[in-house]
Amino acid sequence: MNSAIFDGTGACPFCKLESKFKNDSRRQVYEYTCSACGTYVLSYASYLYLQDNADKINLANCIAENIESNIEYEDIRCAWLMDGDPKPNFAHKGLIIKSIRDIQSKPINHAEKLLGILRLIALKARENSNPFDDVELYTIDLFRLRILHSSELYSWLSQMAFDGLLTYTQPEAHEVIYNTEMPQTSIEARAKLTPRGWAHLSGVKATDSRKVFVAMKFNWTDTEREIQIKFLETVKSACRNCGYQADIVTEDHEGPILDKIIASIKEARFVIADFTYNNRGVYFEAGYARALGIPVIHTVMYGDTEDPKDDNKHLHFDVRQINYLEWDSSTRLRERLESRIRAIVGPVAG
């Protein structure tokens, strides 16, 4: 009897880069491990949809979702399904169910890419002793910014160079970097910010930002891991529907991670603070944001507010007086969170 699972290699159905896959005919799914997209699950129906429509639709959102999910979660992956597909049964793996049609149809704010490229270069440059050293921009970096083609990248870089914000060079040949994490990603450009570019970034106000900082406890128990993932995906969806992008920091306060948290809060348009498990780090992050005048939306899982027998389910009296959203289902949370965002901050125009 032939095995129900066989391995192969080929182009990723989303980004077309080198990938490996497992074909599970019993469950009717493919499990891909892509050079850029990371690991994800694809139903047979979704695979056929991509084969028939890949040249007709913009998959930038889907590619970015794959990459971000692999960065944010160590043991969770996207499962791309079509309407009517059963959920794949992988008992040992967490799955975030995604719809290709829903994600690919979300509008992309191209105007935001200019600032995104500047911030990407600045982030990479902070690892150097000299802020005016060249940094390398890889294919996977651009995919996260929803830039799929080198020609688009060079159009943005050319304009920013004309404006005096940066200088850049194209690689002399098609340079490919090999390692165990990203078996094949190309260097698309080398760039560095000018003094004017650094000054421009420092003048960008939080009120111009589309980023949302999500403050929450991250090391949940294994039994509640699925609840955590559903919460995060719901928050990301609610923010996206209002024109914002949730910034997920997947580590608690520890050494340099605190610097990253503070920097992320400063760049955020607003903060969503979830007090489930009464996490002390969330109190700090919410308080820090308020001190900077950044709006904070409070949430907490139903039942984690006033349990006198469990300190982890008993909010401090300072925040019990604040209006917070108590959540018990993803649908209700998304609706209420979208309403709160529109009321307190307002949707992104355009």
* pLDDT given at position 1: 41
The angle subtended at Cα 103 by Cα 221 and Cα 53, nearest 5°, is 130
Cα 118 to Cα 88, 149, 168, 193, 194: the distances in Å are 40, 18, 12, 8, 11
Q: pLDDT grade, residue 326 (50/70/90)?
A: confident
Asked if the model's pLDDT at residue 349 lies above 70, the reply is no
Q: How many CA atoms, within 13 angstroms, populate the side-chain half-sphere of residue 163?
A: 15
Q: Which residue has the higher pLDDT, 11 or 217?
A: 11
Segment 67-87, tens digit of pLDDT: 888 876 666 778 899 888 877
* pLDDT given at position 143: 93
Q: In the chain, where do the E strands start and end?
A: 5-11, 18-24, 29-34, 38-43, 76-81, 94-99, 135-138, 166-169, 176-177, 185-193, 211-215, 245-248, 270-274, 296-301, 324-327
In one-letter notation, the amino acid at residue 156 is: W
CATH ID of 206-344, from 3.40.50.10790, 3.40.50.450, 3.10.450.50, 3.40.50.720: 3.40.50.450
User: Which ranges in the chain are annotated with CATH 1.10.10.10?
Assistant: 110-202
* pLDDT given at position 277: 78
What CATH number should be reported for the domain whose range is 110-202? Answer: 1.10.10.10
Asked if the model's pLDDT at residue 274 lies above 80, the reply is yes
Cα 43 to Cα 55, 85, 294: the distances in Å are 19, 7, 42
Q: How far apart are CA 66 and CA 207, in angstroms?
A: 28
Asked if the model's pLDDT at residue 176 lies above 60, the reply is no
Q: pLDDT grade, residue 329 (50/70/90)?
A: confident
Most confident among 74-78, 103-107, 139-143, 342-346 (mean pLDDT): 139-143
* pLDDT given at position 254: 52
User: Which ranges in the chain are annotated with CATH 3.40.50.450?
Assistant: 206-344
Predicted TM-score of the model (pTM): 0.72
Q: How far apart are CA 65 and CA 103, in angstroms?
A: 8
Which of 37-46, 240-249, 306-315 has the weakest average pLDDT? 306-315
**Mean pLDDT of the region 41-55:** 90
Q: pLDDT grade, residue 197 (50/70/90)?
A: very high
Q: How far apart are CA 4 and CA 265, in angstroms?
A: 48
**Mean pLDDT of the region 42-47:** 92
* pLDDT given at position 132: 94
Q: Which residue has the higher pLDDT, 26 or 150?
A: 150
**Mean pLDDT of the region 178-204:** 78
Q: How far apart are CA 263 and CA 248, in angstroms?
A: 13
Asked if the model's pLDDT at residue 55 lies above 70, the reply is yes
Asked if the model's pLDDT at residue 2 lies above 50, the reply is no
**Mean pLDDT of the region 127-145:** 90
Edge-first strand order for the sheet with 324-327 is: 245-248, 211-215, 270-274, 296-301, 324-327
Asked if the model's pLDDT at residue 181 lies above 70, the reply is no
Q: Which two tokens stand for residue 83?
A: 């309407």
Q: How far apart are CA 292 and CA 288, in angstroms?
A: 7
**Mean pLDDT of the region 299-312:** 61
Give the bridge partners for 23, in sequence order. 6, 30
- Helix (H) or strand (E) holding 126, with range, is none
Segment 87-131, tens digit of pLDDT: 766 544 567 888 898 888 888 888 889 988 998 999 889 878 899
